[in-house]
Structure 1
Amino acid sequence: MAWMAWTTPSALFFIGIALILLTMTIAEIKAPCIERKGFLPISTTRGDRLFIGLLSSAYIHLGFVGLTELSIWVPFAISTVWILTVLKWG
């Protein structure tokens, strides 16, 4: 893996995504989910809400990086709250 310039934040990011996917897989095996309708305008499963949350969090980060000079921790905090909200009530 020496060909890639790994930094601690990027390694933690990918480890975090892997842990989220592992957790979601275990949760799906233990208790299969059913579609439900929350505040999102479509019926979703846990996996749908995870995908929507991760995708929208990426756009939050891109917006902050492209449009502001703020620390990356600001969009991280906003994205964390957002993805938890989507997973719980989406």
Structure 2
Amino acid sequence: MWTLQDAKNRFSAVVDAALSGHPQEVTRRGKPAVVVLSAQDYHRLVADARDQRPSFADHLLSFPAEEAPRAQAAPRDVAF
């Protein structure tokens, strides 16, 4: 784990470690901020997430088939 200042000072080392297959965590003010990982790992993660996500049509079709209850409100009178 790197502090932000150390990661800035040794950015080449951060990148080299990420390219060797070891994602590098960077903190800011003592709290986790970002993770530096190789482009290959990033694209793999994005593709895996995309493959596991249903299509929008599948999402809409997964809603219950029963009719949703509607409010029984009467329209109000409007005088012009």
Category of TM-score, reference length = shorter chain: under 0.3
**Which TM-score applies when normalising by structure 2?**
0.28
Greater RCO, 1 or 2 (C-alpha within 8 Å, sep 6+)? 1
Report the structure, 1 or 2, having the larger strand content.
Answer: 2
Report the structure, 1 or 2, having the larger helix content.
Answer: 1
